[in-house]
Each structure stands twice: as structure tokens, then as C-alpha cells.
Structure 1
Amino acid sequence: MTGKVYVNRTLNLKRIRYIGFDMDHTLVRYNSENFERLSHTTMIDKLIRGKGYPEALRKLLFDYKFAIRGLVIDRQKGNLLKLNRYTAIRASYHGMKPLDFKIHQKLYKSTYIDLSNPNYMAVDTSFSISLAVLFAQIVDLKDNDKANTYPEYAQIADDVLDALDEAHRDGSLKDEVKKNLSHYIIKDESVVRGLEKFLKHGKKIFVLTNSDFHYSKLLLDYAINPFMKDGKTWHDMFEIVITLASKPKFFYEDQKFLVVNPQDGTMTNLNNKFGAGIYQGGNAKKFTEDLGLAGDDILYIGDHIYGDILRLKKDCNWRTAMVIEELAEEIANNKEAEPTNQEIEVLMRKKEPLEDDLTGMMTKKIEKHADVNETSIEQLQKTISEIDAQISQHIKRQQALYNEHWGQLMRAGNEESYFAYQLDRYACVYMTKIPDLLELSPRTYFRAPRRPLSHELY
């Protein structure tokens, strides 16, 4: 770790020539709870008006703390799942209620989830919290509906996703944001000061967003311009702004660039070489080739593991960074949990030799038919059970610090969560917010830590 930027792969900022930013939830911060509540309300309205869902949906209250990123929807069974790095299920809910252990075992046994299977839908963006909450709430309504007025679970999942996509596509959400910018958008002067510092070091800065030009202009006018000096605007800050980029297609399809007139938003075809300016659409290949860049000359920063990071890493060789806003709370909780973790570790060290003794005695009894002291075996078993009970209490106290339904974002029990695994695999570095990177020197050398392999720990 350097500063507050966490390193998966070595990255030398000195060698980076272009730094790109996604806009929503990255360069421009949202009040996530307010925005997700708006998404929840908007999806409900679209389901009732466009899909014929009952008016009862309007009584549903949004619970921002119910879901976390990285969950998976089982479309067929109406369940929400949390996976570890190997896609084994480590927590499961049906609707808003945890699945009983026996029911879980009957449904899934030791199943490893195949995420390429269309029966499963990943909840992997900041915008997906409201989707997961609403899906779970409607599952509960369906289960308690004797009139059978709701469709099957899979159709509910598809309908909720369609409603969210439509809300983004038709401007329903953005129109509400425009009406009350201060309620949804967080201004941060440190972002502008940090960008200015990077410009002094010769870095070129660009924006690559799926939002349209007019909405992008609105947010950049609101969040960037108030902190610019000497009459300058965000036009002077960013070498290139690409709107309606259709990520992740931008990284692997041959979409055409359109040149945007910043005065009125009108567009014309780009018939010449790509360069500084404002655009719509386009593709990473032309971006890189026309600017005379190698892929590792570019660092792109986003908040979406699939749209911004995963496909970019697979289809281009740009360097990647990810913003995970909710990680800040998890790091604080980790620090608070450390004394409890130490107590658990002490109890585990106390338990392990007892388990070894019990294993040895039972092995003698079974393999060699040797006489063993049954009283000693019973005492060992009793002592181990007592220690397990203590550990269980400490674990409950530890888990209470995190999301009460799903626990930690980055872990599934002692293992990495699937979200953490994807982050580790595809993001070179990650942080909780953009200023964490911008407060550092543009010449910073991020060195990845040496990670011990399991056999090196002994």
C-alpha cells in the first residue's frame, strides 16, 4: 500500500502519459444512498406503469443496507447469493430472508456457480444495490400472494433489470438528478487541485463515460468549474472527453467516433485522425493508435468491475484502477475488529494442539486397536467444544461490525469474496475515492507486495 492506494500489480505513474476517468461515481461522486433510493422508486414506477405490476409495490421501503456489491441473483429460485473466489456459495437469501441451512443444502449441495449460466445475474455495480433490494422485496410479495398476480422469479429478475436499464436510457434518473444536483452530487475541490498537479507533470487527462454529452456537461459544470481558476473551465482541464462510449463495447468493438460541438451538442463524423476534443462513441483501438500510445501508457480509472475494468483488461492492455467507495467503511470496520480477530487467533492456537492430540488418540484406537483412555477423549472433546463456543461468540461480535446480512464486501468468511477476487485479478490498483490517488505524486511507483504462497507460511 502507498498512501491510500492499494496495489495488486506494480504500476509506475511516471511512465503513464494519459490518465482516463469514468465520470459517474468516479470523477464525479454521487450521494449513493440518495441515488439508489431514487433508482428504487423509479424502477417501481416503471414496473407498475409498463409491466402491469400491482400498486402494492409503492409501499416498499428502500433499505440501502440490505444488499452489497458482488452478490449474484439466482433467477430461477428467487435467491440472492454471496460467492467466494471459487464461486462456492457462502451466504444465501430467499427474498429478504436468509435461507435455512437444510433448505440451502437441498437446493445447492456443494454447487459451484457457473456465472456464464444465464440463470445467474451478477450485482456488480454501484447502481445495482437498488436492483438487488427490489428483486428480493418482490420475491417476498410473490411468495405471500395467494392471487398469483406476480410472474415467475426469472421474469421478475428480468423485469427489474429492464426497468433499471430503461431508467438510465430514457433519462428518468438523470432528469431527477438535474432538478436537485446538490441532493445527488458531491462537490470536491480536492479533485480539481489534484488534477491540476498531474497536469503540471505533463499528464494528459481524459474522461470516458457512458453518459451523454448534455448530462456530462451538466455534472462537469457543477462539480469541476466552481473550483477552476483564472476563468478556466473543465474544457481546459481535459484533453479529451468521450461521451456515450457504450462501455464495455468501447474496448472491443469498432464503433465510430462522432465529433461533438460543445456549443450545442450537435455531432459530425470524425473523418480525420483522432485528437484533442469532445466526442461521442468510438473505440479504444483508434484512441490508442491515433494518439501514438502503447496500451501501458494509459491508466483508466472506473467504478464498474465489468464495464470499466474486466473487459478493458481482457481486450486492451491499458492499465486499470478501480474506485470502491464502500471500501472506506470496511477498512474502518477491519480496524475495529482487529482486537476480536486477535482473540479468535489466540483461541485457535489453543484449540489446534488439542485437536492434534484427539486425532492421534482416535487414530491409535481405529488403526492399531490400541487401548486408549476414553475419559481423556471425552475431556478433549468437551474442551474443544467449549473453545468452539467461545470462538463462535467472537465471530458473531466481529460480523456485527459489517453488513448484518452479508458480512464483509471483500471476504466470504475466511476466504476472498468473488468481488475481491475479480478486483485482484483485473485492477492494477484500487482506492476508495479519486483524491486518494490525486494527493500522491504523479511520479509515484506503486510496488505490489510479495504474497506468500500457502507452503511458504510454514
Structure 2
Amino acid sequence: MAAPMRKTRFLSELFFHRSSIKYSLLQLRENSFNIYRSHGGNTSRNKNESDLWEEYSKHKDYCENFAKQAAESFAVDPKSVFANNEVDLSTIDVYGFDYDYTLACYTCELHHLIYKEALENLVDRRKFPPGIRDMKYNLNFGIRGLHFDTKKGLLMKIDAFHHIQLGTVYRGLQQLADSEVLDLYDGTHVPEGAIMSFNGQSYFKQLIDLFSIPEMTLLGNVTEYLEQRGIPYDSEYLFSDIHNAVKEVHFSGNMHKEVGNNVGAYLESSTEVRHLISRLHNKGKRLFLITNSPFEFVDKGMSYMIGNDWVDYFEVIVVQARKPLFFKDTTRPFRFIYPKTGTPAWSRVKELRKGEYYLEGNVEQFTKLTGWDGSRVLYFGDHIYSDLADPSLQNGWRTGGIIPELEDEIEIGNSVPFKRDILWLMSLQNLIEDNQGTGYEDVINGWIHERNQLRVATKEAFNRQFGSIFRTYHNPSFFTSRLCRYADLYMSSVSNLLQYPTDHTFYPRRSALPHEINFNTILR
């Protein structure tokens, strides 16, 4: 298993911190300046303009050549498991799973269905202009983790430090100029209370899960329609109406009925999930399922993916769990469900039996009835808040985040054009930093302009409007900060675990702080 272990370590070095690349650039800087900058040396005062351009050419040639060499030497396996925290699987006795976008991965047809159903809700029930039906659905408009400012009616990406990423702020389908954003927000910082509040009154709403993708497109399309026609609207009510229309697609049962009747069209077909569940079961691990979806919907999907005997693998099955309330509200008891009718029984649940189905409940009763030690539980889910936050913070469970987009993002990060642009962006930024104060402002300003163009190019490599879900231009995104806080592990699919034995230990990389020596680069 040496290869998966090696590849597990690559992400924090290349994809996020890119320390190996930084090391190569550092070597180039040492050769160019013949002195290690952090020791206080500075030769920039003695340079002339031709010296600057000679360094520029040398750095650019090096980056071009290194990017080609790095195509094979530095690559991240998209099927790896990545660690924010140390996790020893030999200590894990119990594996828990969410259903939607964790065990069940959907095709893009589901997003089209949600968009269509919510659109009809807006027109038929909420009396929105029928013309919004003519707005085209762009599957690639939004990305997970964006924020919507309900007061100003703007969709945007925010970084881990609560700063707006310029170039990612949209009113409808129109990008706002940086100058307008700076005027509207008096800079780029968003107060913490606007993003997160203990009373739920924050007016920046984060669209955190994959079911939110159609909602973002609706927000963009409907706002665009109203703006283009000069129709007045209140952005807070607009958000509320669209958000509730999307929620009603789930609560009405229409989506569940359509997907259940056409499982093959909406669920991605794979044998890997069955292999994983079977392997864990055969290794003596105890499995449970906690999902907000209804019983019949889950049963059809699990039968399609795993087989009609899927129930036999799980010790406990909980549907319509009301997460995150399942982890917060300790007053709601479990109810037994009759599998043939799907109706709940009236009798009190005094034990959780294998092969039976339960409704609602709460984590306190779950822990009491199972007797499972939270430190020996590993729970997987796609929703950072509903699935991962409380189990991690309050119950001591180990957690695994399922991020399907990760696979595509890694493939882009592995490409030669992206590596070339990132290498040159970082090298150019070093040149700018090291040659400040030389008196050649025109040269430096030209480099800054080129650097800004590279930042846009590396952003648009992932998504033209909003870039990577994991990064702003140089900082982790707000989404990434929450993922790293609440998920011990993360991966593109639960089936990625098949690459590792059940006694494998995942180790996070010790990433150097800005003031520390990066020993990872020395060891490598």
C-alpha cells in the first residue's frame, strides 16, 4: 500500500501548499540572487532594468521546463483519501453513512429536475413572471460553498478570513466590477456576524451542499430576468421564495417519486459502493445509515446500488432523521417503520434492531441504545454542517467529508497548463516581492498586471465565474476552512477507502507556518 500512502501526502504539498514547487522556486531564487532572502540579504538595490528582465526570463524558462517534468513526477491521485487529522482505522469499529451524495451519487439529471420543479413552483404558486421559464439552465454557473448576500442580492465566494474574492461577485448573471464591490462593502471584509451567528440571523447565506447548485442558478436567472426588465424586487424575499421553492421540491415528495421511478437515469451506476460495504461487513465492522431522505426512496436506491439484501449489512437504519436536528434536539424519539407500508408504529422504541427501519430519533438516544463509543465511530457525509459539524464537535465521532467535485479539481491541478501557470504565478510574485523599491516601477507594474491575469486564468480553469471550491486566489475558501475544521478525512467518494486496508493510519502533513522552515521540502 505504499503508493496510496505516498499519494495521500501529495495533496497538502502540491494541491494546497505546493511546497515541492515552492522548494524548486526557492532553489531558483537562491541561484538568481546568490543569497537566502530570509537571512536578511537584498541585492535588489544594485540591479538595473536589464538585470530585472534577465531574472524574469530565467524564471519563466525554468517554470515552463519544470511544469513539463512535473507532469508525471508531481501528480495527485484523485481516488486518494486526504487527512486533516490523524485517523487510525484499526481503532474504528463502527462506520456510519449519510445517503444522498455519500453512498448515492447522482447524475446531472437530478439538478435539471430540481431546477425545473422549483421553477414551476415559482411561476405557478408564487406568481413569478412566466418569462423566467425561458431563461436557460446553466449547470456550470455556480459552485458549492458560495454565499448570497440577501440584503444586496449578490452571489459571491468568500475566503477563510471572511474576505470577498474580487472577480466572483454576481448580481444575476452579471459580474460586478471590483471598484463597485469595494464601494458596496467599504473593502472586501465581511463581518463575522453577517456570515455566522448563534441565533441564525446572519444575512449572508451559504449554499453549502450539492443540492444548492440548482438554487444558485435560479437565483442568477431570476435576478437577471428582473434586472433586465427593470422589475423591482426585494432581494431578501427573492432569496426566501427561491430557497423555499427548492426545499419544497424535496418536501413535496415529487423529486423522490421521480427518482425512485427512474433510478437508472438519476443514480450513477457503480459496484464499488457494494464492494466497500461488503468488505467492511466481512471485516466485522458495524455499519449504520442516518439520512434525511424517506424510506421508500432510500430502499430503491440502495437496492439498485447494493442489491435487495442491502439491509443485511447495516446494524441500524434511520430515515427522515431531520439532520442537523438529529444531533441537536434530544427530545425527538425514534419510531419504528413498517417496511411494507412505510408507515410508523405508535409503540415506544426501546432498542434498535438490525434489519428494521427507524424514523427521526436523536443522537443521545442513538448512543444510549447502541452503546457505541463515539471515539470508535467514523461517519461519512457530504454536508459539512448537517453531517459533520455536530458529530465532530459534540459527539467525538471521527468524520469523513465526501466531496465529489474533488476528483475533477485534482485532474485540473494535475494538468501541465495549470502547473505551468501556477509555477509562473508564484515565481512572478516572488520577483515582484524581491524587486520592490528598485526604482523601476513601470517594470514592476507590468509584472503585477501579468500576475493579475494569471490569477484570473488559474481561477477560471475550475469554473469561469467562481473558480475552485477550495481556494480563492491565494487563500483557502470559507468552504475549505469549514471542511478542515469538521472533517478528519475527506475524499471524492466513499469507495476511495477501497485503496487502503482497514488498519491503515491516515496522517496529516505538518504544514509550515509562514515564519517556519518547511522541513517537508528538505526531506523530499
TM-score, length of structure 1 as denominator length: 0.89
Cα distance, 1:450 vs. partner? 1.1
Q: Is the 8 A contact 2:336 2:349 kept in 1?
A: no
Partner deviation per Cα, 1:195-223 (whole Å, 9 max, x = no partner): 11111211011111101111111111112
Residues 248-257 or 420-429, more deviating:
248-257
Determine the structure 2 residue equivalent to 1:120: 204
Using a 3 Å threshold, how does the CA distance of structure 1 residues 17 and 275 change in structure 2: closer, same or farther?
farther
Cα distance, 1:224 vs. partner? 1.3
The yes-or-no answer on 1:342 pairing with 2:342 is no
Find the aligned partners of 1:349 and 1:153 in 2 and give their Cα distance: 42
Q: Is the 8 A contact 2:170 2:176 kept in 1?
A: yes
The yes-or-no answer on 1:202 pairing with 2:284 is yes
1:134 to 212, 218, 227: 218
1:143 to 210, 220, 227: 227
Alignment length, in residue pairs?
Answer: 428
Kindly indicate which of the two structures has a greater share of residues assigned to strand: 1
1:338 is matched by which residue type in structure 2?
A: K
Q: What is the CA RMSD across the aligned residues, in angstroms?
A: 1.7
Q: Is the 8 A contact 1:275 1:290 kept in 2?
A: no
Cα distance, 1:383 vs. partner? 2.2
Partner deviation per Cα, 1:370-404 (whole Å, 9 max, x = no partner): xxxxxxx2xx2122123224333433432331101
2:479 to 412, 419, 422: 419
1:241-390 map, 5 Å: 241-254=317-330, 255-268=332-345, 269-276=347-354, 277-336=356-415, 337-355=418-436, 357-358=437-438, 377=439, 380-390=440-450
Determine the structure 2 residue equivalent to 1:171: 253
Determine the structure 2 residue equivalent to 1:14: 90
Cα distance, 1:434 vs. partner? 1.3
Determine the structure 2 residue equivalent to 1:104: 181
The yes-or-no answer on 1:78 pairing with 2:153 is yes
1:105 is matched by which residue type in structure 2?
A: L
1:48 to 123, 135, 138: 123
Using a 3 Å threshold, how does the CA distance of structure 1 residues 174 and 273 change in structure 2: closer, same or farther?
closer
2:303 to 221, 225, 233: 221
Find the aligned partners of 1:243 and 1:396 in 2 and give their Cα distance: 44
Find the aligned partners of 1:13 and 1:317 in 2 and give their Cα distance: 15
Determine the structure 2 residue equivalent to 1:445: 505
SS of the equivalent of 1:258 reads strand
Cα distance, 1:260 vs. partner? 1.8
SS of the equivalent of 1:250 reads helix
Determine the structure 2 residue equivalent to 1:366: none
Find the aligned partners of 2:339 and 2:414 in 1 and give their Cα distance: 47
Find the aligned partners of 2:503 and 2:452 in 1 and give their Cα distance: 47
Structure 1: 5+ residue stretches without partners: 226-231, 359-376
Find the aligned partners of 2:425 and 2:202 in 1 and give their Cα distance: 40
2:509 is matched by which residue type in structure 1?
A: P
Cα distance, 1:293 vs. partner? 1.7
SS of the equivalent of 2:367 reads helix
Q: Is the 8 A contact 1:252 1:315 kept in 2?
A: no
TM-score, length of structure 2 as denominator length: 0.79
Residues 48-57 or 414-423, more deviating:
48-57
Determine the structure 2 residue equivalent to 1:361: none
2:179 is matched by which residue type in structure 1?
A: K
SS of the equivalent of 1:416 reads coil
SS of the equivalent of 1:320 reads strand
Partner deviation per Cα, 1:125-166 (whole Å, 9 max, x = no partner): 1100111110121111221234x3x64111110000111111
Determine the structure 2 residue equivalent to 1:405: 465
Using a 3 Å threshold, how does the CA distance of structure 1 residues 298 and 60 change in structure 2: closer, same or farther?
same
Cα distance, 1:86 vs. partner? 1.4
Identity %: 26
Cα distance, 1:7 vs. partner? 0.2
Partner deviation per Cα, 1:304-338 (whole Å, 9 max, x = no partner): 11111123323322111110011111111112211
Q: Is the 8 A contact 1:195 1:438 kept in 2?
A: no
Find the aligned partners of 2:386 and 2:328 in 1 and give their Cα distance: 11
Find the aligned partners of 2:389 and 2:186 in 1 and give their Cα distance: 30
Find the aligned partners of 2:280 and 2:348 in 1 and give their Cα distance: 29
2:349 is matched by which residue type in structure 1?
A: N
Q: Is the 8 A contact 2:455 2:473 kept in 1?
A: no
Find the aligned partners of 1:151 and 1:339 in 2 and give their Cα distance: 45
Structure 2: 5+ residue stretches without partners: 1-7, 10-78, 519-524
Cα distance, 1:237 vs. partner? 1.5
Find the aligned partners of 2:278 and 2:236 in 1 and give their Cα distance: 49
The yes-or-no answer on 1:23 pairing with 2:107 is no
Q: Is the 8 A contact 1:198 1:438 kept in 2?
A: no
